[in-house]
């Protein structure tokens, strides 16, 4: 019992988030409790880091350069797996919680993401495009860090709020909670969250995947009809 470690009991405010036509984003609350052996709190309160990451997907990154006055694709790099969404909230800045090695092992923090570059990529080139991808997604609001985004009450209860932007893709998201003390990760707990479309948006998405030809044909017909209708209205007015 003297060597027993504390246990995390995590939960989330919503296990499923539905995207409708009016979806403008959501606030996800991640909360829980820390259970200590024999109920004895340590002399020094531990820290909490919460990581929410979205569906992992391959991605091709292109870099544009101005050549002879024209912006052109000069170079590119492919990554086999990159999370479409990544957010980390912690009770203190990550650099004050764990060392670089531990942060890299658990992928805590944007600089510790393992994006799995494609085969044959040179290390310097991979790092260059990794930095570019992270910077681009930070500006788009789908990658971010909140260094003091976790509140801990009485050393037992914790909570963190993570903003889900409107442009996130559908799929299964994983929320990881890390209990950290004296630079060591004492416990890890995970919860899954599903973000999916519902209503008319879900129907359109299913049709687009299952009947690609008909969906494309319908889109072309609708575009032609709207163009014709706009032309008729314009002609009548003028």
State how many domains the chain has: 2
Looking at the structure, do residues 100 and 57 belong to the same domain, yes or no? yes
Give the model's confidence band at 215: pLDDT under 50 very low, under 70 low, under 90 confident, else very high. Answer: low
0.85 cut: is pTM over it? no
Residues 158 and 231 in one domain: no
Number of C-beta neighbours around residue 122 at 10 A: 10
Q: Are residues 221 and 154 in the same domain?
A: no
> Do residues 183 and 175 make contact, with C-beta atoms less than 8 angstroms apart?
no
Tell me: the pLDDT tens digits for 152-161? Answer: 998 899 999 9
For residues 32 and 50, the answer to whether their CB atoms sit within 8 Å is no
Q: Which residues contact 217 (CB under 8 A, 6 or more apart)?
A: none
For the chain, percent of residues with pLDDT exceeding 90: 42
Q: In this structure, what CATH number is given to the domain that contains residue 184?
A: 2.60.40.1930
DSSP 190: E
Tens digit of each residue's pLDDT (9 = 90 or more) over 69-127: 777 777 788 888 889 999 999 999 999 999 999 999 999 999 998 887 776 667 788 88
């Amino acid at each position: 019992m003297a060597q027993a470690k504390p246990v995390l009991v995590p939960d989330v405010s919503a296990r499923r988030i539905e995207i409708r036509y009016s979806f403008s984003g959501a606030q996800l609350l991640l909360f829980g409790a820390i259970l200590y052996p024999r109920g004895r709190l340590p002399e020094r309160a531990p820290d909490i880091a919460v990581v929410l990451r979205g569906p992992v997907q391959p991605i091709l990154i292109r870099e544009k350069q101005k050549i002879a006055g024209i912006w052109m694709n000069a170079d590119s790099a492919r990554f086999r797996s990159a999370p479409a969404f990544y957010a980390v909230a912690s009770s203190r800045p990550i650099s004050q919680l764990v060392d670089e090695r531990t942060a890299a092992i658990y992928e805590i923090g944007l600089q510790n993401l393992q994006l799995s570059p494609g085969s044959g990529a040179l290390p310097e080139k991979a790092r260059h495009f990794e930095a570019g991808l992270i910077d681009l997604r930070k500006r788009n609001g789908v990658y971010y860090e909140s260094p003091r985004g976790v509140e801990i009450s009485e050393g037992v209860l914790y909570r963190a709020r993570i903003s889900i932007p409107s442009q996130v893709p559908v799929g299964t998201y994983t929320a990881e909670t890390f209990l950290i003390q004296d630079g060591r990760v004492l416990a890890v707990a995970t919860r899954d969250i599903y973000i999916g479309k519902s209503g008319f948006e879900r129907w359109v998405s299913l049709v687009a995947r299952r009947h690609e030809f008909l969906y494309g044909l319908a889109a072309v017909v609708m575009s032609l009809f709207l163009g014709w209708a706009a032309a008729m209205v314009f002609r009548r007015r003028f």
